[in-house]
Amino acid sequence: MLMRELRFGWAVAAALAGCLLTLPAAAQPQTQIIVNFEDGSAQGFEPRAGQEVLEVSAQSAKSGRYALQVTGRKQDWNGPSLRIDTIVEEGAEYIVTAWVHALGPDSSNFRLSTQIGEGASASYANLAAATASFNTGWVELRGSYRYSNTSSGYITLYIENDTADAEYLIDDITVQKKEGSDVRADLALPSLKQLYQDAFLIGTAFSPQDLHGVRFDLLRHHFNAATAENMMKPVTLQSAPGVYAFDGADQAVQTLLDAGLALHGHTLAWHQQSPVWLNTDARGKPISRQEAERNLVQYARDVAVHFAGKVTSWDVLNEAMMDNPPNPSSWQDSLRKSGWFLAFANGAKAPQGGADYVAAVFLAAREADPSAVLYYNDYNLDDQDKAQAVAAMVKQVNEEYLAQGHDRLLIEGVGMQGHYHLGTKAEDVEASLRRFIDLGVRVSITELDVTVGSAAKQGLTPQQELQQAAQYARLFQIYKQYAQHIDRVTFWGMDDGTSWRAPQFPLLFRADLSAKPAFFAVADPEGFLAGYDDTPQAPAVRRGRAAYGTPQLGSDDALWQQAEPFAIDQMLQAWDTASGEARVLWDKHYLYVRVQAGDDVPHSSGAQAQDRDSVEVFLDEANGKTSAFNADDARYLVDIENRADAYPEGGGEGFASAVSVQDHGYTVELKLPFRRVAPRAGRIIGFDIQINDAQSGARTGAAIWNDISGNAGQDPSRWGEIELIAPADEQAQTADPVIAGPAKRQAQPALGSAALWGLAAGGAIAAVACAILVRKRKRK
């Protein structure tokens, strides 16, 4: 066993022992590894690819005398690797640290990673990264990981480097179980599937890690339906034309069928997670209509035939409609210009364009598996315009099918994905539900989760957990009311730790599988809401700070660094493609805003301003928080090509903007005149920033700083606030100096309770602090 082979360097042992003695007994790590090479051996490290050369070396060490030198690498994933399966307990979280020292002169990127399983079913995760060159000296990589499934019996840690032949030293590798991180699934809780057995199926998205151990117990306890989170998507099932990889999905499907669950197939046609060649050639151009039709029909048929008799329903077509369609009364115009649409349009006779790909894929699925219920599936369907376009599509496709003499609908169900957030309005969800029910189709909620936009890294505050629970309760009240028309309510995963939206804690169970208030709210929505104070509370308003100074636009002025960054991190749409950071400065006449937007591919073809990569800034000079625009309110939009659009028109005297584009993003700088209010230190101004990310002429993602209502462009009442901070030379004279910096930030309402939360997590934090202490002592 690995632990027994390891020998502590005496300094580490003494320091660590001393440190551990000061911790309460319960906080002591139960399992840990410390590797420091002080016995002159590699202490279990092996070359990951076989060809790497690992030698204990005394040229430099993080602590003690020795480190491990790594040479002979040929690819980025090569490096030293250590088996840790001997100590990892299933479900628990581990804190991992390692020190690296680059030997080459050039800087390169290190990654500390973990591998779970071997061969085709292996999965990998990066725990930490750092850039370093020889002169940087020793650099720490620190991360953590929860090992949800240890059934493979093979788990390693390894240290890789983006530069294929980079050479380096490693030292002082520690692996320590995070105190209190054991799983706490409670199988005595009432089962959701039983509570809702007379209403609808209760489903979950699943990944391979869910089909084993305690996760599988939890899954079987609460759910009677399942959708593969990724395993049945085109990109997973088909690697090359005619080459299918069904093994993984088949195994999972069988396991779930044996456990008595209903299987829902997801998805046959989609613009994402699909092999590009299905509809697009090597130069990025759409293939011909005939070829595309052949590929689409062939794929849908092969896959639907393969799973026939196993799945009860299919998401035949996923996310075909654009967001915020400008002309929702035409569903054809509102279709996303996806690879499938464009290829079907390539050679089509007008006026149908490429829109008939919709019926084509449903027809293929019907023919291949007549027993399956066929769904159209999409997100943001609480948006009435998008819902209108989808309803029109479903209606027309079905009418044409019936007119051909069929006695059954072609699109039999609409899947409302349900990627919601705290700002989602239950009445919008209900309006869309009714709209689809009125078409005579079934409805399923297919990917339900409720994100909390301003969540701190450590987790939700008790108040946020309750707000989230209330949102789930309101949704379930509606679902129960329309249960007759609803087949299934599927959550997009079981727990926050493995959710695709993990940083926003959107699900019913925490990462340790304990039930959140959201679980109890779903189990009994009426009961929950009866005990919940639902008087609309003013949502906590984010308050940022503008530093004093007059920057020169477009010059990367160093002044910006004096302003604190604002994270534009609250998503307004299901896909989180938009993100960025802003800084704000002010002087006696203007407010200056610099937004750094992350963006991989610039898109500026959209006809409407918001459908291009762009940045919006909202300003309420008197901070009147009115629900309609007054004379002191302004809105500015600047797109990636520096085209500006402002309200009031022209943006006011002196309004100017500059844009620069980088490899993975772009920077917008704006100079906004104070038009109505004389700025002075201490003044609070209503303020918000939104980043729009576009693709092929349509907005695909939007993120905002404060106002998550989705209505910031019309209604100033929910914008955030900024405080104008006194110039540095005046600050010294004020009695109560306002000093920018992290200490002050923690006192803000949104972060304050997160800090408390951190204190509550005492044991774990003490352990980490202890590790840091050890390191400090050794450095002397």
CA distance 767 to 559: 39
| 428 a catalytic residue | no
Cα–Cα separations (whole angstroms), residue 68 to 35, 172, 183, 324, 386 = 10, 10, 35, 56, 58
> 202 φ, ψ to 5°?
-115, 115
Q: How far is the CB of 521 from ligand XIL (least distance, A)?
A: 23
Tell me whether residue 22 or residue 123 sits nearer to ligand XIL (CB atom). 123
Q: What angle (nearest 5°) sits at the alpha carbon of residue 767, between those of residues 764 and 772?
A: 130
Task: Report in angstroms how near the CB of residue 236 gets to ligand XIL at its nearest.
Answer: 10
What are the Cα distances from residue 191, in Å, to 48, 187, 257, 507, 524?
A: 44, 8, 19, 16, 12
Contact 717, 627 (CB under 8 A): yes
Measured from the CB atom, the residue of 230 and 605 that comes closer to ligand XIL is 230
Please select the residue that binds ligand XIL; options are 52, 171, 382, 447, rule is CB under 6 A: 447
- 416 versus 540: smaller Cβ distance to ligand XIL: 416
Q: Considering the complex, state which of residue 358 and residue 574 has its C-beta at the smaller distance from ligand XIL.
A: 574
Which residue number, 493 or 544, has a Cβ lying nearer to ligand XIL?
A: 493
| Site mask for ligand XIL (CB under 6 A), range 288-327, x = bound | ------------------------------x---------
**Least gap, CB of 702 to ligand XIL (angstroms):** 16
Classified as helix, coil or strand, 183 is coil
Q: Which of 229, 385, 465, 721 binds ligand XIL (CB under 6 A)?
A: 229
Q: Which is nearer to ligand XIL, 443 or 670 (CB)?
A: 443
Least CB distance to ligand XIL at residue 129 (A): 20
Q: Is the dihedral of CA 12, 17, 19, 25 positive or negative?
A: positive
Minimum CB–partner distance for residue 279 and ligand XIL (Å): 18
- Rounded distance, CA 634 to CA 629, Å? 8
447 flagged as catalytic: yes
Give the binding-site size for ligand XIL (rule: CB under 6 A). Answer: 8
Euclidean distance between CA atoms 356 and 287, whole angstroms: 16
Least separation in angstroms between residue 499's CB and ligand XIL is: 8
Interstrand relation of 311-318 and 262-269 (parallel, antiparallel or unpaired)? parallel
Q: How far apart are CA 612 and CA 183, in angstroms?
A: 45
Task: Based on the residue annotation, tell me whether 85 is a catalytic residue of this protein.
Answer: no
Give the C-alpha separation, 16 to 13, whole Å. 5
Identity at 408, one-letter amino acid code? R
The residue of the chain with the least Cβ separation from ligand XIL equals: 500
In the shown chain, the binding pattern of residues 565 to 604 toward ligand XIL, with x for contact by CB under 6 A and - for none, equals: ---------x------------------------------
| Annotated active-site residue in 293, 378, 382, 613 | 378
**Is residue 236 involved in binding ligand XIL (CB under 6 A)?**
no
Q: Which of 156, 417, 579, 596 binds ligand XIL (CB under 6 A)?
A: 417
List 71, 86, 230, 696, residue binding ligand XIL (CB under 6 A): 230
Cis peptide before 267 (omega within 30 of 0): yes
Question: Based on CB atoms, which residue is closest to ligand XIL, 574 or 597?
Answer: 574
Q: Which residues pair with 637 in a beta bridge?
A: 616, 645
Task: Kindly state whether residue 500 participates in binding ligand XIL, applying the rule CB under 6 A.
Answer: yes
Nearest-approach distance from CB 539 to ligand XIL, in angstroms: 25
Q: Which of 631, 597, 601 is nearest to 615 (CA)?
A: 597
Residues 115-154 that bind ligand XIL (CB under 6 A): none
Instruction: Report CA Rg, the chain.
Output: 28
Q: Are 66 and 36 in contact (CB under 8 A)?
A: yes
Q: Between 378 and 721, whose beta carbon lies closer to ligand XIL? A: 378
Residue ranges in 351-380 that form contacts with ligand XIL under rule CB under 6 A = 379
Per the residue annotation, which of 38, 52, 93, 447 is the catalytic one? Answer: 447
Taking a C-beta distance cutoff of 8 angstroms, is the pair 302, 362 a contact? no
The smaller minimum CB distance to ligand XIL, of residues 269 and 770, is found at 269
Per-residue binder mask for ligand XIL (CB under 6 A), 677-706, x = binder: ------------------------------
Residue 765 phi/psi, 5° resolution?
-70, -40
Smallest separation, CB 361 to ligand XIL (Å) = 15
Interface pattern 527-566 for ligand XIL (x via CB under 6 A): ----------------------------------------
User: Residue 544: what residue type?
Assistant: G
CA separation for the pair 112, 107 (Å, rounded): 16
Of these residues, 38, 167, 171, 319, which one is catalytic?
319
Residue whose C-alpha is closest to residue 383's, from 315, 338, 437, 435: 435
* 214: number of Cβ within 10 Å: 16
Query: Would you count residue 382 as binding ligand XIL (CB under 6 A)?
Result: no
What are the tokens at 133? 């060159």
For residue 402, count other CB atoms closer than 10 A to its CB: 13
Q: Would you please indicate which residues are annotated as catalytic (active-site) residues?
A: 319, 378, 447
Judged by the rule CB under 6 A, the positions of this chain that interact with ligand XIL are 229-230, 318, 379, 417, 447, 500, 574
